Structure 1
Amino acid sequence: MSDQRSGLVSFKIRPSLLSVLKAGYSLPLFTRDLCAGLTVGVVALPLAMAFAIASGAPPERGLFTAIVAGALISLLGGSRFQIGGPTGAFVVIVAGVIARHGYEGLVVATIMAGFFLMLMGFFKLGKVLQFIPYPVTTGFTAGIGLYIFSSQIKDLLGLQIGAQPPEFIGKLESCWSGIGTMQHGAVIAGGVTILAMVLIRRFCPRVPAHIVGIVSSMLVVWLGGLEVETIGSRFGGIPATLPSFSMPHDFLALAATMLPDALAIALLAGIESLLSAVVADGMTGERHEPSTELVAQGIANVASGLFGGIPATGAIARTATNIRAGAVSPVAGIIHAITLALFMICLAPLASLIPLASLAGVLCIVAWDMSETHKFARLLRAPRSDVFVLMTTFLLTVLVDLTVAVQVGVVLAALLFMRRMSEVGNLRLGGAGDQQAEDLSNDSRAACADSAFCPSSVMIYEIEGPFFFGVAERFLGVLHSLREPPKVIVIRMDNVPTIDATAIHALETFIAHASRMHIQLVVCGLQERVTFVLTKLGTLNRFGDGNVLKDLKSAMLRADNLALSSM
C-alpha cells in the first residue's frame, strides 16, 4: 500500500528560486536579473494590454494578470527563466467566454483551470501534456493567429462599426460592411507601428520592437495632429492602482457551466507553459521541473482570477527575451512584475494616450508570428492522416471554438495513434508450406524444419510487440484466413512485453474458436509480466495441462506429441 501511495506522497514543490538561493545569490547576479527584468517588463507592457483588449476585456485586466500571475510563476515555478502572463493563445477562448458569460464567467473558468493545473502537477502529468501531437498544436496555434488578426481589423482601420460578433465569419462580415467608415489616422498609426516593428526586428533585433512601434506611432499621431481612438477615449484610461482581491459572487452557480472552458484553459496553459520551459531549457542548457511548473501555473491562475486578471501561462517570446537580456534566475521574472506594477502606479495616464490602432498593429505582428506559416505549409506535405488532423484543428479553431478544436484534435490524434500502434505489432503465421514458413523468424523456421509435422499439422503463430486492443482484431482474424486448419498451433510470445484486457479477451476467444475447430493450442515464451497477468485472470488454465511452455523448442516437441496423438 505504501508503494502505491509513495508517488503522490513523495511529491514536493521544488521552486527554481529556492535552488538558486541555496546555490548562492550574489550582487552581480542580481544586477543581471535587474537589467533583464526591466527589459522584459518594458516588452510585456504593451502586450499585456493588447491581449486583454483583443480578448474583450479592459487593458488593466492584462496588466493585473502580468503582475499577479507573472510574479507567482517566477516565485514558485520550476523553470529559472519562465516569464508568465497573458498570451495570444488565450485570445480566442477568453473572447468566447466573455461573449457568452461575461467577465464573471471568465473568472470562474480561470480559477477552476488553476485547480486543474495544480492537480496535473500533483499527479505528475507534465510529461503527458508534452505528448500532444505536433499537428494539433500547429493547427490550433495557426488558427489562433488568424483569429487574432481578424479581431484587429476593426481597430487597425479605425472602423466605426460598434461591437463585433465573436465568430470569425461574423467579424469579417462586420468589417466588410463598415469599410466605408475607415479612418485614415488609424491606418497611418497602425501602419507606422507595423513598419517600425518590422524594421527594428530586421536591423536591431535586440531593441524591443513593440515599444519602438508604439512610441513611433504616438509621435506620428502627435506631430501630425491625427484623430485616432486611444485607450483613454475608449476605456477611460488605466487605473493608477494595484489589483485588489475580489471573489466571484456566482461561483457555484457558474461552475458546472464553465467546466468545458476551464478544462480547455488548463490544457492550453499546461501545454504552452511547458513548451515555453522546454524552449528556455534549449537556450540555456538548464532543466525545468514540469510538475512544479504546473502547480505554479495553477496557483498563478487562481490568483489571477481572484485579483481581476485573465488566464495566464508561460510566454515563449517574453521568456526568450528574458534569457537574451541576461537573466540568471527567477528574480528577473519577479522584477518584470514589479516593473509593470510601478508603471500602473506612476505612468498610467501616459498609457491612455496609446492609439488602439497601434496596439492592433502590435497584435498583427504577434498573429503572424503565431501562425508560423512556414511550418504550417510544410506540414501540408506530411502523411494524409496528419494533414487531416492539422486542417481539422485549424478550421475548428477559426470557425467553431478553440475548446472544441483542442478536444477534437486530441481525440483524432489518439485514434490515429491507436491505428499506427496496431500496425507496429507484428503478427506472423507460418508452417503450412515453405512460402508461409518464410514469413517466420529464423529460429522459428529452424524449429519448424526440425518438427516432423510442421509442414501440414503444426503451425507457429508469432506475436511481436505490445499485445493490446489495437492488435487484437488482427489476431482474431488468423483462424478465418486458414484454408486447411492444422492440428496444432504454437503461439509464440517471446517478444510481447505487455498485454491488456482487450488482447486477453481476444486470446480467450481464439482459444474457444480453436477448440470448436478441434485445433490444439500451445503457448510459449511468456515474459514474467505477461505470465503474471494471464495467471491472475485464469487465462493460462484454458490452454490445458502441459500446453504452456518456456521456450519454442519444448513447445515444438509438445506440438509434435499432440499431433501424433490426434492421428
Structure 2
Amino acid sequence: MSDLTAPHRQSSDWKLFVPKLVITLREGYRLVDLRHDAISGLTVAIVALPLAMALAIASGAAPAQGLVTAVVAGFLISALGGSRFQIGGPTGAFVVVVYGVIDRFGYDGLILATLMAGLMLIVAGLARFGTWIKYIPDAVVTGFTAGIAVIIFSSQVKDLFGLEMAEVPAEFVDKWHAMWLARGTLDLASLAVAAGALALIVALRIYAPKAPGFLVAVVVGSLAAVLFGLPVETIGSRFGGIPGSLPTFSFPEISLGRIAELLPSAFTIAFLAGVESLLSAMVADGMTGRRHRSNCELVAQGIANSASALVGGLPATGAIARTATNIRSGARSPVSGMLHAVFLMLFMLVAAPLASYIPLAALAAVLVVVAWNMSEIDRFRQLMTAPIGDRLVLLVTFALTVLVDLTVAIEVGVVLSAVLFMHRMSEVVAIGQPGATIIEGDEEEEAVSGRAGRREADDLPDGVQVFEMRGPLFFGVALRLAETMDRIGKPPAVYVLRMREVPLIDSSGAAKLREFLAHARRGGSTVILSGLQRQPRRTLIAMHVLHPGDGIHLAPDFRTALERAREMLPGSAAGT
C-alpha cells in the first residue's frame, strides 16, 4: 500500500510550499476583502512604525534600518508565507543577537550573518523542519524569551534616564556596573519624557485599548520636547535623521574565514527567526481557526531575511503582537501584511524629516513596554509550579540568556530538556518476571501484571522462565537488561521474553538484547520473543540480532509462546 501511495504523495509535495496568498486569490478576493485588509494594514503600520525604529536603536543599528527591514521583509513574509495573517519585521528576540554581532563583527558582519541565516531557513523549510517546532520545550522558549526581555530593558536604562556614557558595555553585569557609575549624570528632562510616554501608553491600554498607544506616546513626547525646548537626545541628534529614499541593493563581501566566524551567529538568527515565526503562526491559527503551512513559512522567512540583508536591513521574523493586532483589526488575507509594508514605506518617504524630532527617551519607554510583554510573567510563574526538572530548565535557560549568551542558553536548555525527558522515560520502563519484583527506575516494585502475573508464574512448567519488558528499550535503560541478566542464576531451558509493550528499540537496546541472547545460547537456553511489535522487529532484523538459524523463536502472543516453550522442553513429545 505504501509503495502505491508514495508517487501520489511525492507529486503533491510541492503543494506544501504554495503561499497562502495564492490560495486566497484562488478562493476569490473581493473588494470588501481589500477594504478590510487596507484598514488592518494601516492599523498595523501605525503600531509597527515606532517599534521598527526603537528595536533598531536597541540593536545598535540606525532607526532607518529597522524601517527598511519592516518594509522589505514584512512585504515578502506576507506575500510568500504559509500563514494568512502573519506580520513580519524586526522583533525583540533579535535585539541581543544583533547587538552582539554588530559589536563583534561590525554591521557588515551582521548583513552576512543575516544572509546566511536566510539561506539556512530556506534549506530548513525545504527539508521540512517546520514541524520540529513542537519538539522545543515550553520551558526553553519561556526562559530565553524572559531573558531577552531583561536584556532589552537593561539596554534602555541609559536613554530612560538620559545617562551620559561614552560607551555602553555589551555584557549584562558590566553594563549595569557602568550605568551605576554614571548615575550622577541623570537627566531630568529625559526622565520626564520617558515617564510621561510610559504613563500615556499604560493609560491608553487601560482606557482606550484600541488606540495606537506606542505611536501616540512617541508623537506626544516629540511635541513636548519641541514645544518646551527640552534638551533631550533625539533621533536627529544621534543618527542624523532618517533618509527619505528607498534602499539600494548591495552584496556583502564573502570569504570562507568570515563565514566560519559568523556561522554560530547565523545559526542563532535562523533558529530564532524560525521558532518565533512558527509560534506567531500558531497563535494566529488559535485566534482564527485556520492552519498555517510551517515549511512554506520557513522558506518565506528565509527569502525575506536574505532580501533584508541585501538592502542593509536587520533580521526579521513573525511578530506575535503585530500579527494579533492584524487579526483583531479585521484582516482577511496576506494582503493586509503586504499593505502594512506599503504604508510603512509611504510613512518613511513622506514623514522622514519629522522623525528627527523623536526623543530617544520616548522610544525607550516603548521598548520597556515591549520588554514587559515579552517577559510573560504569568507564564513564567506557572512554569515555576511545574516539576523540579522543568523549573531547572527554565531557570538555567533564563540565567544563561542574561549572563552568558543566547546561543549557549538555547543549546544547554534543549540538551537539558532532552536529558530530563530520557530520565523520565527510563523511569517508566520495567524489566522483570510477571508477578515478581521488577526493576523500574531506581526502585523495585511489583509488576503491573499483579495477581494474573503471579498465576502465570505459578503455572509455568519447570525449565521455563518468563521475563516481561514494558516501555521503550533505548540507551537510557539498556543497562537495565544487563542488570536483570546478572540476577539470573542457573539458566532455564527456555526463556520467554514478553515484548508486547515495547514500542521502540534503539541501537543500544538492540545491542544489549544481543548480549542477552548470546548469554542464553552459551547456557544452552532457547529464547522465544512474544508479541514483538513492528518497529522493534525491523530494528532487530536490520542490526542482525534476528536472523534465520539463530535459535530465536517468535510468537505472536504469550499463550502461543508458552505452548511452544512446553514443546521445546526435554522429555516432551515434541522435544523427543
Please report the TM-score for the alignment, with normalisation by the length of structure 1: 0.94
Cα RMSD for the two superposed structures: 2.5
Q: Who is 2:441 aligned against?
A: none
Question: 1:30 deviation in Å?
Answer: 0.4
Question: 1:315 deviation in Å?
Answer: 0.2
Q: Is the deviation greater in 511-520 or in 274-283?
A: 511-520
Question: 1:421 deviation in Å?
Answer: 2.2
Q: For residues 218 and 476 of structure 1, do their structure 2 counterparts lie closer, same or farther at Cα, with a shift above 3 Å needed?
A: same
Q: Does 1:170 align with 2:174?
A: yes
Q: Does 1:538 align with 2:548?
A: no
Q: Who is 2:562 aligned against?
A: 556
Q: Who is 1:448 aligned against?
A: 457
Q: Measure the CA separation in 2 of the matches of 1:433 and 1:53.
A: 64
Q: Who is 1:475 aligned against?
A: 481
Q: Measure the CA separation in 2 of the matches of 1:510 and 1:523.
A: 12
Q: Who is 1:110 aligned against?
A: 114
Structure 2's unaligned 5+ residue stretches are 439-443
Q: Measure the CA separation in 2 of the matches of 1:332 and 1:560.
A: 74
Structure 1's unaligned 5+ residue stretches are none
Question: 1:31 deviation in Å?
Answer: 0.6
Q: Which amino acid aligns with 1:521?
A: V
Q: Does 1:270 align with 2:279?
A: no
Alignment check: 8 A CA contact 1:130 1:274 kept: no
Question: 1:181 deviation in Å?
Answer: 0.7
Q: Measure the CA separation in 2 of the matches of 1:543 and 1:235.
A: 80
Q: Who is 1:337 aligned against?
A: 341
Q: Which amino acid aligns with 1:346?
A: V
Q: For residues 5 and 510 of structure 1, do their structure 2 counterparts lie closer, same or farther at Cα, with a shift above 3 Å needed?
A: farther
Alignment check: 8 A CA contact 2:20 2:84 kept: yes
Q: Who is 1:10 aligned against?
A: 13
Question: 1:501 deviation in Å?
Answer: 1.6
Alignment check: 8 A CA contact 1:451 1:557 kept: no
Q: Which amino acid aligns with 2:21?
A: L
Q: Who is 2:402 aligned against?
A: 398
Q: Which amino acid aligns with 2:43?
A: T
Q: Secondary structure at the match of 2:351?
A: helix
Q: Measure the CA separation in 2 of the matches of 1:442 and 1:384.
A: 35
Alpha-carbon deviations, 1:96-116, whole Å to 9, x = none?
111110111111111111111
Alignment check: 8 A CA contact 1:238 1:348 kept: yes
Question: 1:7 deviation in Å?
Answer: 5.0
Which residues of 2 match residues 43-192 of structure 1 at below 5 A? Answer: 43-192=47-196
> Which 4+ runs in 1 deviate beyond 6 A?
431-437
Q: Measure the CA separation in 2 of the matches of 1:431 and 1:484.
A: 20
Alignment check: 8 A CA contact 2:114 2:306 kept: yes
Alignment check: 8 A CA contact 1:476 1:506 kept: yes
Which residues of 2 match residues 236-255 of structure 1 at below 5 A? Answer: 236-255=240-259
Question: 1:556 deviation in Å?
Answer: 1.6
Alpha-carbon deviations, 1:28-80, whole Å to 9, x = none?
11011111101100100010011110010111111110000000000000101
Q: Measure the CA separation in 1 of the matches of 2:423 and 2:164.
A: 52
Question: 1:533 deviation in Å?
Answer: 3.4
Question: 1:485 deviation in Å?
Answer: 5.3
Q: Which amino acid aligns with 1:539?
A: V
Alpha-carbon deviations, 1:231-271, whole Å to 9, x = none?
00000000111121010023544111111111111111111
Alpha-carbon deviations, 1:390-415, whole Å to 9, x = none?
11111111011111111111111112
Question: 1:377 deviation in Å?
Answer: 2.2
Alignment check: 8 A CA contact 2:52 2:70 kept: yes
Question: 1:537 deviation in Å?
Answer: 3.2
Alpha-carbon deviations, 1:265-298, whole Å to 9, x = none?
1111111000000111111111111111010000
Q: Secondary structure at the match of 1:382?
A: coil
Alignment check: 8 A CA contact 2:465 2:495 kept: yes
Question: 1:141 deviation in Å?
Answer: 0.4
Q: Secondary structure at the match of 1:491?
A: strand
Q: Measure the CA separation in 2 of the matches of 1:436 and 1:150.
A: 52
Q: Who is 1:499 aligned against?
A: 505
Question: 1:227 deviation in Å?
Answer: 0.8
Question: 1:436 deviation in Å?
Answer: 9.2
Q: Is the deviation greater in 159-168 or in 229-238?
A: 159-168
Question: 1:495 deviation in Å?
Answer: 2.6
Q: For residues 35 and 436 of structure 1, do their structure 2 counterparts lie closer, same or farther at Cα, with a shift above 3 Å needed?
A: closer
Q: Who is 2:217 aligned against?
A: 213
Q: Secondary structure at the match of 2:135?
A: coil
Kindly tell me the number of residue pairs found equivalent between the two proteins. 564
Q: For residues 4 and 91 of structure 1, do their structure 2 counterparts lie closer, same or farther at Cα, with a shift above 3 Å needed?
A: farther
